[in-house]
Each structure stands twice: as C-alpha cells, then as structure tokens.
Structure 1
C-alpha cells in the first residue's frame, strides 16, 4: 500500500500594498477620520450671541442683567445680531419688543431719545387687570363723569380711547377693597406727547380701563428699574 502524501504547510506572507483588502481598509479609515473631523468642526462652528433674559419692550434701558450669552450656529446670511464676545452695551435703549430668549438684533438698540416714551402709573380695577403682565400691549380707555347736570357740560362725560397699543411695564399689587372695588397700579410706557392727558385723567380720578391688544404678547412679569 502506497503512503499518503503529507500536506505541506503554507507559509504566511506579509500583505502587500497591492492587496485590495488593505487598500479598502485604509480608505475606510481615512474616510472615518475625515467625517469625524468634519463633525467636530461643525459642532465648534458656534458663536456667542446675546439673548433677552426676559420679555423687553421699546423704551427699556439696557443693564448688565438685560441679556445673557448663548452659543449658536447661525446659517449664512443671518448676521446682524448682537455678539456676546463684546460687553453688554449698557445705557442703550430697546427700540422694539423682544421676547425672552430671543436673539437680540443690533438694530433693536438705540440711543436715549430715540424712543420717546415715559413711564406713567395708572390705577384700574383689579378684576380687569387679571392676567395682565409686563410686556403686554394695551389700549387705554378713559371714562369721565364729572359733568354737572344742567351746566351744559354733559357732552364732556363718556368713554374715549386715549391711547393705542402702549406697553405694560409692570403690574403691582392691588390696593384695598375686594372684588371689583380692589384697585391695581399698572405702569405704562406712554408716548411723551400723551403723558399730560394721562396724568390729567389720573388726577381727575377718571375711570381707566386697559384692554389687551390681540397678539400684543405676554411677558414674564419681571420689572426692571
């Protein structure tokens, strides 16, 4: 009987750079590294910008606590916002309403005098101001009833809309009374040209009613000094 031939051990050879599997592996490694570097670069492509800490209305003065910085990545062509790599421009005035957390457009800041409003406090029914808050826009109605019968001044009595869409700066605690008898102090930003008319209505104890403007917004309720 003839003997079976013993198998010959095959020597392992070092892979050659011509090996297709090696080439594919190198390509995959390079592609993964490039993709990872791109993702890291995209994640780091953020810039610090300022956002409003609370709801702001035109006429608010900028203080050190008005804005806070956030890191955001804006799309191309979305510049024009206030960058947070510079100090907060204290002393500037807000020229348009801003919502809490909203990026601050550079165009929303102006110099004192660009927004010609003054703070005026009025008193109104607590029930009528339920739900009213800082930053909301309201129409101001004044009802007078100071005519003396037979004096010929009856035509001066009645209700008129004194102001359109003024901003609420703050709503303060009710003052005495219960229900409809309770009074609440509301601070408004009033155009300078209308301040005298509002003060006269307050001094003559006219009834003042604030009617929220549809879509006027509701703010956080905080008040700045």
Structure 2
C-alpha cells in the first residue's frame, strides 16, 4: 500500500508550481513589452500637406504638418523633417491636403531640374487643363514655303502651374497664357518652337474615365 506524501511536501510542491507559473507570466510580460517597443521603433516622422499643394509654388515648413507613421521600406519615398531644406521646396505635382509628401512631387528650390514658362494659346482649351494637371506639349512646325510638318511632342508630362483666361472667366474661352513647369532639358526646345511661331497645343495626360 503506497505511503501518502507528507503534508509539507505537498505544500512545497504546490508553491513551486505557482512560483514557476509566476516566473513564466513575468517573462511573457517582459517579452511582450520588448516586442511592443521594437514595433514602436518602426514609427518615423514624415511630413504631410496641411492644405492642397499646387505645382510651381514654394512650400516651407509652415505649409506642412508632421505625422508619425510606420513606412517600413517606403520611408525613402516620402519627405521627412530632416530632409526639408531651410528655404523650402518647389512642388512639381499636386499633393492633396493630408497626404504625405512624396519626394517625387517636389524639387529643391536651388535645383535646375525644372523651369517655368508661359505659353500663349489661342482658341479653346480642354476642360482638363487646370492647375496641377499633367499635359503633353505638341508643336506643329511650318516651313518657309508654308508647308506644315507633322505635329510632334516636344515636352512630355509638363505640369500646369496656372491658367490665365479672358474676362469671361471660362477656362474653355480664349486663353491668354498657360504657365507650365517644364523639365530643364526640354526648355530650350520649347522656347525655340515658340520663337519660330510653331502651332503649340496642350493635350492632358491621364484624364479620368468619364471626362
């Protein structure tokens, strides 16, 4: 017949089990805190637009708000406070209010990547040619004898900065000028076409369905 364990031995065994369970719970709590801390380390500050930013304007810290977000591998694609120049940046394409600012949508004010030029356009403009729109610039050359050459794209993906219209205020009316932000390497070709009196047309790029 088995001899029952002494009462003291049973008490020590129960105490040891509770002690081990307590140690395990503490270890799990510490491990969870460490994982939470590691996850929070992935949060980084990034800059978002406090209002809609339009192409061609200079944007400084006053136009931006700081957000703490987890970007992971995409961190290099967005503007962060440490990379904002003191004099601000130039917006090259529209950024909506509240949107994180992509580095692809800005340029350093000292950069020579872009130049602004105003193009005179007569007649009606497409309704899609508005500030912030992307357009291709087409030019139709004319020979000395009056013969026309086939139109060609001389600037692809220029950005509309502003549109000046007549007193009627209708974009579809006669336009006095459209200011474009143009890649610097295409600027000379555009100015040459304007000086030669070529017929210049603007064609919106990527219009939404149904327009």
Rate the CA distance shift 1:170–1:177 in 2: closer, same or farther, 3 A: closer
CA deviation vs aligned residue, 1:29-68 (integer Å, no higher than 9, x gap): 43124313432452354221234564665x6544344543
**Backbone CA RMSD of aligned residues:** 4.6
Q: What TM-score does the superposition give when structure 1 sets the normalisation length?
A: 0.57
The whole-number CA distance in structure 1 between the counterparts of 2:67 and 2:117 is: 31
Query: For structure 2, which runs of at least 5 residues remain unmatched after alignment?
Result: 1-6
The whole-number CA distance in structure 1 between the counterparts of 2:129 and 2:147 is: 32
Counterpart among 192, 196, 199 of residue 187 in structure 2:
192
Residue 119 of structure 1 is matched in structure 2 by 117
The whole-number CA distance in structure 1 between the counterparts of 2:169 and 2:93 is: 34
Q: What TM-score does the superposition give when structure 2 sets the normalisation length?
A: 0.60
Q: How much does 1:208 deviate?
A: 4.5
Structure with greater Cα Rg: 1
Counterpart among 163, 167, 171 of residue 159 in structure 2:
167
Query: For structure 1, which runs of at least 5 residues remain unmatched after alignment?
Result: 1-9, 218-225
1:95-106 to 2 correspondence within 5 Å? Answer: 99-100=95-96, 101-105=99-103
CA deviation vs aligned residue, 1:178-201 (integer Å, no higher than 9, x gap): 896x22443212443123533664
1:67-86 to 2 correspondence within 5 Å? Answer: 67-75=64-72, 78-79=75-76, 82-85=79-82
Alignment length, in residue pairs?
Answer: 191
The whole-number CA distance in structure 2 between the counterparts of 1:113 and 1:76 is: 26
